[in-house]
């Protein structure tokens, strides 16, 4: 029931690709936020009327970066699990002491969400409880 080495390599490549993509976006966003910041310093004397909306834009951009950081954490956790040999197992099933052979997340789910921590059943349970 476990994943084959070539499947693990495939998932690792997938995760790395997502990671690079999100990271690229994050860096670009941070650059935009940074330049927006320095522009605001230069323009503040001329554009006092616009400052309210500028502050909102900046706050909004930073919030996106924050979410991406969370997302990146999930991605690196998944890559870490590939290295540790626990990738593809449902964390909640393992925690509940379910026999090893039944803790595997279906491959179709992993292909759709390679950073999934839980199987569909546990994810539903988790959502109901939160």
What is the smallest separation between the CB atom of 121 and Zn ion, expressed in angstroms? 5
Contact with Zn ion (CB under 5 A): which of 15, 79, 90, 110? 90
> What six digits make up the tokens of 58?
């900046």
Which residues in 38-59 are b (16+ Cβ under 10 Å) and which e? eebeeeeeeeeeeeeebeeeee
Identity of the residue, 54 or 123, whose beta carbon is nearer to Zn ion in the bound complex: 123
Contact with Zn ion (CB under 5 A): which of 93, 110, 115, 116? 93
Q: What angle do CA 101, 15, 119 make, to 5 degrees?
A: 35
Identity of the residue, 6 or 128, whose beta carbon is nearer to Zn ion in the bound complex: 128
φ and ψ at residue 89, rounded to 5 degrees: -95, 145
Please give the residues from 97 up to 126 whose contact with Zn ion meets the rule CB under 5 A: 119, 122
Q: Which residues bind Zn ion (CB under 5 A)?
A: 90, 92-93, 119, 122
């Amino acid at each position: 029931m476990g994943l084959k080495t070539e499947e693990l390599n495939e998932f690792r490549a997938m995760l790395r690709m997502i990671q690079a993509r999100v990271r690229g976006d994050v860096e670009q966003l941070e650059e935009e936020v940074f330049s927006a910041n320095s522009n605001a310093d230069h323009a503040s004397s001329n554009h006092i009327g616009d400052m309210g909306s500028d502050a909102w834009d900046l706050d909004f951009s930073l919030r996106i970066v924050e979410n991406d950081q969370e997302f990146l954490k999930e991605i690196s956790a998944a890559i870490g699990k590939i290295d540790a040999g626990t990738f593809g197992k449902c964390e909640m099933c393992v925690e509940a002491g379910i026999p090893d052979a039944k803790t595997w997340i279906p491959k179709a789910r992993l292909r759709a969400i390679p950073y999934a921590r839980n199987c569909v059943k546990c994810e539903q349970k988790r959502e109901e409880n939160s």
